[in-house]
Amino acid sequence: MENCVKMMTAYVGICTLAALVANPVRADVNTGLLEREVGFVGDEIGARVTGVDRTDGNATVLDLSLPPLDEAVDRIEVLDRDGNVVEQLRPAQIESDQEQNRVGVRLHLKRAPKMAFRLRLYDDTDEQNTQRE
C-alpha cells in the first residue's frame, strides 16, 4: 500500500511538471497597493499616482505613471484591497513615454470615496500567439 501511495504521488508530480512545461505560467505584473492621492508611490514597482480628477460626472479619472516594464501592457485590471475586481467605466488608456522612460495609464473608475487599489497588468501577446498556432 505504501508503495502504491509513493507511485501515485510521483505520477501526480510528473503530470503537474509536464503540464507546466507545456503551458508555462506567466507571472503578470502587480503594482501593489496604491492610494487615490496625487504623489502616492507604490512600493512594489514604483507606480506613481500623478492625477486624480473627480469632476468627470460620476467617474473618478486617475492618472498613473509606471516604470518601464519588460513586457508590453495590453490589459489592466483594477483590484480593491481585498482583491475584488473594480469595474472600469471604460478601458484603461496606456501610453509609453519614451522621453520620461515611463508608462502612462489613465483609468476611469466609478466615483467612490478614497479607497486603496492595485493594478494587475497583463501582456496578452503570448496568449494570442498561442491561440493562433
pLDDT tens for each residue of 12-54: 334 333 333 333 333 478 899 999 999 999 999 999 999 998 7
Whole-prediction pTM: 0.68
Which residue range is the domain that position 39 belongs to?
27-132
73 confidence band (pLDDT: 50, 70, 90): confident
Strand pairing partners for 90?
108
Q: Say how many CA atoms lie within 13 Å of 98 toward its Cβ.
A: 0
Q: Where residue 48 sits, what CATH number does that domain have?
A: 2.40.30
User: 8-27: string of b/e by CB count within 10 Å (b at 16+)?
Assistant: eeeeeeeeeeeeeeeeeeee
Overall number of domains in the chain:
1
- Distance, in Å, from the CA atom of 30 to the CA atom of 84, rounded to the nearest integer, reads 14
Q: Is 101 a member of any domain?
A: yes
